[in-house]
């Protein structure tokens, strides 16, 4: 089965999940709510979406430079955006397509670039936990009501992340786990070196550089929170404060990540819809808002990503080994 067929199967499955999700929420009412979206908020939302992409791009450039990789900016942007297309692959391992593109176009060894993409995803996790914890702290300080499950999700994610960082700081433990993970079919194709991977991870997750990466990752999630808040305003929902919104959103993303489903499909939508309904928003309207949120925060990036993937040569015969 080639790459395109695999992607089609995932997309069809996701469409089916959304169909069930909307039907359960009363499809007729959802359809009526779609027309209530205030179009004047669209430029603001799209501007935030693009700004988020450029924050990720800047972080990507820094991560590559940390490993002495410097390629033309435009081509590099194509490669970064191509990774968004395959973010629909469970666990976001599809973003390893960037490693393959760097190998194909610039002959940069995948053993050198694949660990960078792992660092990129760890930074995403560090950023989202940072934003969530700060949000919870501010809400606690001002006695703002929030979704109780957020506490447990963030605590669990923090424990998982702390475990990962401990592993990265112990070469012996890292080697044992690496040898087990590298046996998975998708990962084994990259023929990663234990020592090279460890050195890159260790180098990228230490000192001032790590702080800069976390800051950029946190900024990205704050921007996504602003997108979510803007969508709520576009549907004339003004009862929720920004910190409550962003903390609940990041918690739902973490739950989706833990589920290992493609983009946390179903889990993220269900969590967000449940939170909005608990705030007194009609379930059909809540479902509609969540669909819009996911379109702007994820599906727009996936769609644009496929265009860049084509432009970057991701569907060429040279890349068949990534299938």
Kindly compute the dihedral angle of the four CA atoms of residues 20, 22, 23, 27, in this order, to the nearest 10 degrees. Answer: -160
pTM more than 0.85: no
Convert the pLDDT of each residue in 21-67 to its tens digit. 666 656 666 677 778 899 999 999 999 999 999 999 999 999 999 98
pLDDT value of position 321: 42
**Residues in the chain, total:** 323
- Which of 143-157, 180-194, 255-269 is least confident? 180-194
Residue 317: which residues within 8 A CB-CB, separation 6 or more?
none
* pLDDT (average), residues 145-153: 64
Separation between Cα atoms, residue 280 and residue 283, nearest integer Å = 9
Average pLDDT, the chain: 81
pLDDT value of position 149: 64
Whether 233 and 217 have beta carbons less than 8 Å apart is answered as no
């Amino acid at each position: 089965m080639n790459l395109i067929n695999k992607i089609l199967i995932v997309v069809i499955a996701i469409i089916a999940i959304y169909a069930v999700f909307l039907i359960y929420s009363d499809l007729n009412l959802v359809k009526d709510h779609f027309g209530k979206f205030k179009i004047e908020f669209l430029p603001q939302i799209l501007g935030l979406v693009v700004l988020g992409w450029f924050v990720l791009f800047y972080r990507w450039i820094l991560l590559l430079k940390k490993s002495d990789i410097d390629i033309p900016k435009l081509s590099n942007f194509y490669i970064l955006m191509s990774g968004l297309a395959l973010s629909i692959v469970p666990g976001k391992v599809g973003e390893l397509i960037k490693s393959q593109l760097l190998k194909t176009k610039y002959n940069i060894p995948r053993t050198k670039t694949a660990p960078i993409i792992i660092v990129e995803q760890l930074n995403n996790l560090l950023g989202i936990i940072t934003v969530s914890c700060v949000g919870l702290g501010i809400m606690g300080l001002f006695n703002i009501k929030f979704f109780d499950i957020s506490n447990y999700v963030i605590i669990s994610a923090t424990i998982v992340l702390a475990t990962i960082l401990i592993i990265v700081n112990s070469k012996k433990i890292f080697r044992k786990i690496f040898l087990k993970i590298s046996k998975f079919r998708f990962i084994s194709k990259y023929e990663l070196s234990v020592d090279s991977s460890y050195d890159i991870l260790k180098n990228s997750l230490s000192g001032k550089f790590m702080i800069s990466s976390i800051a950029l990752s946190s900024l990205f999630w704050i921007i996504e929170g602003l997108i979510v808040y803007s969508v709520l305003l576009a549907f004339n929902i003004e009862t929720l404060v920004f910190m409550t919104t962003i903390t609940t959103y990041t918690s739902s993303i973490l739950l989706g990540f833990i589920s290992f489903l493609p983009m946390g499909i179903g889990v993220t939508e269900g969590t967000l819809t449940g939170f909005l309904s608990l705030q007194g928003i009609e379930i059909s309207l809540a479902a509609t808002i969540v669909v819009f949120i996911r379109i702007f925060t994820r599906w727009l990036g996936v769609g644009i990503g496929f265009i860049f993937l084509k432009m970057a040569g991701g569907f060429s015969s040279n890349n068949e080994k990534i299938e």
